[in-house]
């Protein structure tokens, strides 16, 4: 089985969840870990930009970003022209960010989801497809 390559990044609030995601999905995914492995306070942009660059350069299929609320990592990732990062706090939103927005980065709020919820959200995102059609028009209008 060919594994997909995914870039993952996190700050101190997401370390535990990142380790759990990697452990649960290591047989399906080759992870490029750009996140901290510690719980000491760090600045999330330092871990977001390398993930976004991997996606823009085609090194990874998609990116996963994790912080406490996922707002900061999402805002930072979306500063990159080639990134469409979506904040997914439940599986319905995870499905829609892929189906309607063709998100290439999923942002997960570590302080608001249990490990099982986060894994379900991520797997939902991974199993969805972009619907294209009317949504492609909107996607084309996103970059400045």
**Active site (catalytic) residues:** 67, 100
CA dist 24 to 76, 105, 111, 116, 123, Å?
27, 19, 19, 10, 11
H-run or E-run covering 76: helix 71-77
Can you tell me the distance from the alpha carbon of 42 to that of 2, in angstroms, rounded to the nearest whole number?
34
Cβ atoms of 107 and 70 closer than 8 Å: yes
Q: Which two tokens stand for residue 30?
A: 């080759």
Q: Rg of the chain over CA atoms, in angstroms?
A: 14
Q: Which two tokens stand for residue 140?
A: 């084309």
């Amino acid at each position: 089985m060919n594994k997909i390559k995914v870039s993952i990044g996190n700050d101190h609030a997401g370390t535990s969840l990142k380790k759990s995601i990697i452990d649960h999905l290591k047989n399906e995914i080759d992870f490029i870990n750009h996140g901290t492995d510690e719980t000491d306070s760090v600045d999330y942009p330092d871990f977001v930009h390398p993930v976004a660059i991997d996606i823009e350069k085609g090194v990874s299929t998609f990116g996963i970003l994790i912080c406490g609320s996922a707002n900061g990592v999402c805002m930072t990732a979306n500063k990159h022209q080639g990134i469409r990062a979506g904040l997914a706090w439940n599986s319905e939103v995870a499905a829609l960010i892929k189906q309607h927005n063709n998100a290439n980065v999923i942002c997960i709020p570590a302080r608001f989801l249990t490990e099982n919820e986060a894994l379900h959200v991520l797997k939902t995102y991974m199993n969805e497809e972009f619907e294209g059609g009317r949504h492609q028009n909107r996607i084309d209008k996103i970059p400045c």
